[in-house]
Structure 1
Amino acid sequence: MNLVFFVLIGAAVVVAAVAEITGGSGAMAGLSTAALKAAEGAVPLALGLVGVMALFLGLMKVAEEAGMIRATARLLAPLMGRLFPQVPPTHPAMGAMVMNVAANLLGLGNAATPFGIRAMEHLQKLNPHKDCASDPQALFLALNTASVTILPTSVITLRAASGSANPAAVIAPTLAATLVSALVAITAARLLAPLFPPPPATPMVESSEEDPEPPPPPLPAAYGWLALAALIGIIPLMAVHGAELGHWIVPGLMVGVLGYGLTQRVKIYECFVDGAREGFAIAVRIIPYLVAILVAIAMLRQSGALDMILAPLARLTAPLGIPPEALTMAGLRSLSGSGSFGLLASYMNDPAIGPDSFTGILLGTIYGSSETTFYVLAVYFGAVGIRRMRHALAAGLIADLAGLLAAVAACVAFVT
């Protein structure tokens, strides 16, 4: 992360300095202003996450106390165990990762973040190198950048607001693209792991204080496959009625978790408040990491270095059927969630593109099938104090590239 941070800022300063020397008056002043504004904006962004963190970590605390997380881990242990063989089958990390993946599947980006941070905290307890990412943590982060999505809620909402005749047209290509990027993320993380070995250390055994009783055995694999089949069965329903059903997800989740907690005699109010308190602490803890990554990205954009990188690539990819707007969207999406969403909104309202053209659907698919890789890396690793990310960034960027190519292929297959 040290090298990445320096390269982002160094490239921005060099480009702005060259522009200033060659007559671009105000380039360095603009760079300074962008850096200061980004630093100021990091704190409101983190504080804006407090409410979301408190809500969903409160719900997750209730789910943990009621046994939902453990039951979910047991149900999907045969499947998740293949992806994360280093994690005990019924460890709380399994359940937290499942909740994170489920939130991404349903397009609940805000909910996925606190679930992901909780999963990273559990994985950190199994990590013998506390400042260095473990293989499961790197794989989990790569899967988050791929973020398999059935219902890209924000894109559907934006398309509807832009006057689209079929706001849900992005569901099928987004699902196809994210499935491809997820497979690539898994493959890349597995292949790159031996090339970035962690430092030698004596493995640490997790304390049994949190789990004094021996964990129950995993359920038979057939139950996990049935759960997967049920999930696949939801896909056609979401494809047809996704725009309407999307508004039911969060209220349904709240009622379901709290109701189950009541049936298990959990003091849901006190438990929810305890979890919400943890959400506030996490949101405050990640502020320094947000400041660092947001300042670097803002300087890169302000200096014009990002455009200098993407413009030549756009000319190379045009013969492959990838319009320049798509490459710009993909590049900005990896760096900034708010920036890429604003760019998508401007494209959707551009009469030359619009929401229902091939390019418009492709741009929505790219946004819905990718993630802000640098932001996720800073937040997830920052929350647990990891400074050496090993192969996590490389695997995430490879997944982003695969998602872009898969989005183009999916839109060609489903739209044209």
Structure 2
Amino acid sequence: MLAAMILNVVWIGFILVGFAVALAKLALGDLTVFARVMTGIFDTARTGFDISLGLVGVMSLWLGIMKIGEQAGVIGLFARAVAPFFRRLFPDIPAGHPAGGSIVMNFSANMLGLDNAATPLGLKAMRELQEINPDKTTASNPMIMFLVLNTAGITLIPSSVIAIRQSIAVEQGLVGFNAADIFLPTLIGTFISFAAGLLAVAAYQRINLLSAPVLLFFGGFIAAMAGLYGALHSYPPDQMAQITGLLGSGVIFSVIVLFVAVGALRRINVYEAFVEGAKDGFGVAIQIVPYLIAILVAISVFRSTGCMDYVVGAIGAAVGAVGLDTDFVPALPVGLMKTLSGSGARGLMIDVMKTYGVDSFEGKLAAIIQGSTETTFYVLAVYFGSVNIRRTRYALTCGLIADAVGVVGAIWVGYLFYR
């Protein structure tokens, strides 16, 4: 029961701890603390609604495209192509079920850093997994595996982080700065996070990973990372950004064209299929609103009262007390916040880069952490909320394991490459 209510406990904890800290600050003479908290609450509530409303168009687009792919049989082909690998990770998904294809598409979008495409595809996968879920209020094993791997956040091309670094480098007057130099470290960091999440869930679900399909996937992934780095690392930053942007948009648009072309060849009514799928976009996006606002408000209270600063300071003191290097501590808030809020972590990353320099160790480490981890609480709240799952079992535990190992792995990679 405790595991089932973990999100509820965390949410209450954020609110009550934040309130206690705010009272202490008020007693010490900080007369604006509650004004800051309330401003943050109202701002994040509005942000949660705006995010959900903004998803309506994208959700409608991708649910329509996926309906075309489903009726044209392309989704089934995707699912069959990766069946050996997914049979090992998702043994409870029936062979050829559309959820397998949606999961593949979601992972592909995540790998390319295309968040706008990944979210609606992930929500569609959750709806399809809910169809085969025997208990509609309890997370099934496939749901947990899917979401934990989602929170691990495999990213082949951290395009947004590269773009932000390049922009700040221009502000700081750095000439010839290679904003993409964190490319390979970030790939290694995100792979560590993914592997940790996979191993954690596999241990709970007693899945044997020592099989040819899984080992082939890991070997192929490592080879792909090495090949990408070897092919792209010599390009200057502007060309790197252009190539990664072309790769991402080209792949996604090619998928759209493929679905439409196959649908036309198989003589289905492509337009009607799109409209049928798109109709669900509004309902799914609006259903997310209360879950998203709830988690964002709790995070805002914890952040605006300074609790995050206290946590990081305590960690830095503990690390220093045992004689270890503490240079990574300024970048640590990015990893802690990324678990809670992607936009909050992005803001912290920018702050580190501007404070210490985009080319500093702290700045590079913040970028690696940002690209190597994912927003666990956001993903769990939104994805489970979209299908009305109340009992999440061990999903949060495994997601936090993936995040923690990912942050530690990113720090290790940062020291490996830059120290």
- Residue number among 220, 223, 227 corresponding to 1:236 in the alignment: 227
Q: Which amino acid aligns with 2:342?
A: G
Residues 66-105 of structure 1 aligned to structure 2 (within 5 Å): 66-105=72-111
- Residue number among 322, 325, 333 corresponding to 2:330 in the alignment: 325
Question: 1:330 Cα shift?
Answer: 0.6
Question: 1:381 Cα shift?
Answer: 0.4
Q: Which amino acid aligns with 2:352?
A: Y
Instruction: Find the residue that maps to 2:273 and give its secondary structure.
Output: helix
CA gap of 1:290–1:113, structure 2 versus 1, over 3 A, is same
Is contact 1:57–1:275 with CA below 8 Å preserved after alignment? yes
CA gap of 1:392–1:262, structure 2 versus 1, over 3 A, is same
Q: Which residue pairs with 1:257 in the alignment?
A: 256
Q: Which residue pairs with 2:49 in the alignment?
A: 43
Residue 272 of structure 1 pairs with residue 263 of structure 2: no
Question: 1:231 Cα shift?
Answer: 9.0
Q: Which residue pairs with 2:244 in the alignment?
A: 246
Question: 1:103 Cα shift?
Answer: 1.0
- Residue number among 166, 171, 182 corresponding to 2:183 in the alignment: 171
Calculate the TM-score normalised by the size of structure 1: 0.86
- Residue number among 351, 361, 371 corresponding to 1:368 in the alignment: 371
In the alignment of these two chains, the number of paired residues is 388
CA gap of 1:339–1:400, structure 2 versus 1, over 3 A, is same
Task: State the Cα deviation string for residues 268-323 of structure 1 (Å, max 9, x = none).
Answer: 33333333332222111100111111111111111112222221012334525552
CA gap of 1:230–1:173, structure 2 versus 1, over 3 A, is closer
Give the Cα–Cα distance (whole angstroms) in 2 for the partners of residues 287 and 65 of structure 1: 30
Give the Cα–Cα distance (whole angstroms) in 1 for the partners of residues 195 and 351 of structure 2: 31
Residue 158 of structure 1 pairs with residue 153 of structure 2: no
Instruction: Find the residue that maps to 2:392 and give its secondary structure.
Output: coil
Q: Which amino acid aligns with 1:354?
A: G
Q: Which residue pairs with 1:392 in the alignment?
A: 395
Q: Which amino acid aligns with 2:388?
A: G
Question: 1:402 Cα shift?
Answer: 0.5
Give the Cα–Cα distance (whole angstroms) in 1 for the partners of residues 217 and 152 of structure 2: 24
Task: State the Cα deviation string for residues 33-61 of structure 1 (Å, max 9, x = none).
Answer: 32222222211121122232233333222
Give the Cα–Cα distance (whole angstroms) in 1 for the partners of residues 325 and 281 of structure 2: 45
Residue 378 of structure 1 pairs with residue 381 of structure 2: yes
Give the Cα–Cα distance (whole angstroms) in 1 for the partners of residues 363 and 95 of structure 2: 43
CA gap of 1:160–1:270, structure 2 versus 1, over 3 A, is farther
Is contact 2:187–2:225 with CA below 8 Å preserved after alignment? no
Question: 1:382 Cα shift?
Answer: 0.5
Give the Cα–Cα distance (whole angstroms) in 1 for the partners of residues 35 and 256 of structure 2: 51
Residues 298-313 of structure 1 aligned to structure 2 (within 5 Å): 298-313=300-315
Q: Which residue pairs with 1:202 in the alignment?
A: none
C-alpha RMSD over aligned residues: 2.5
Q: Which moved more, 1:225-234 or 1:312-321?
A: 225-234
Is contact 1:138–1:392 with CA below 8 Å preserved after alignment? yes
Give the Cα–Cα distance (whole angstroms) in 2 for the partners of residues 400 and 294 of structure 1: 19
- Residue number among 337, 340, 354 corresponding to 2:342 in the alignment: 337
Q: Which residue pairs with 1:209 in the alignment?
A: none
Residue 180 of structure 1 pairs with residue 202 of structure 2: no
Residues 348-359 of structure 1 aligned to structure 2 (within 5 Å): 348-350=353-355, 353-359=356-362
Give the Cα–Cα distance (whole angstroms) in 2 for the partners of residues 227 and 185 of structure 1: 14
Task: State the Cα deviation string for residues 106-162 of structure 1 (Å, max 9, x = none).
Answer: 111221111111111111112122111112211211111111111011101111212
Q: Which moved more, 1:47-56 or 1:132-141?
A: 47-56
Residues 16-55 of structure 1 aligned to structure 2 (within 5 Å): 16-55=22-61
Q: Which residue pairs with 2:202 in the alignment?
A: 190
Give the Cα–Cα distance (whole angstroms) in 2 for the partners of residues 41 and 260 of structure 1: 34
Is contact 1:314–1:324 with CA below 8 Å preserved after alignment? yes
Residues 107-186 of structure 1 aligned to structure 2 (within 5 Å): 107-163=113-169, 165-186=177-198
Question: 1:178 Cα shift?
Answer: 1.3
Is contact 2:137–2:390 with CA below 8 Å preserved after alignment? yes
Q: Which moved more, 1:24-33 or 1:75-84?
A: 24-33
Q: Which residue pairs with 1:206 in the alignment?
A: none
Q: Which residue pairs with 2:285 in the alignment?
A: 283
Q: Which ranges of structure 2 fall in alignment gaps of 5 or more residues?
A: 1-6, 207-211, 233-239
Give the Cα–Cα distance (whole angstroms) in 1 for the partners of residues 407 and 58 of structure 2: 29
Calculate the TM-score normalised by the size of structure 2: 0.85
CA gap of 1:377–1:25, structure 2 versus 1, over 3 A, is same
Question: 1:389 Cα shift?
Answer: 1.3
- Residue number among 6, 13, 16 corresponding to 1:10 in the alignment: 16
Task: State the Cα deviation string for residues 236-274 of structure 1 (Å, max 9, x = none).
Answer: 236643523222222442233324422332443333333
Instruction: Find the residue that maps to 1:128 and give its secondary structure.
Output: coil
Give the Cα–Cα distance (whole angstroms) in 2 for the partners of residues 178 and 102 of structure 1: 14
Q: Which residue pairs with 1:293 in the alignment?
A: 295
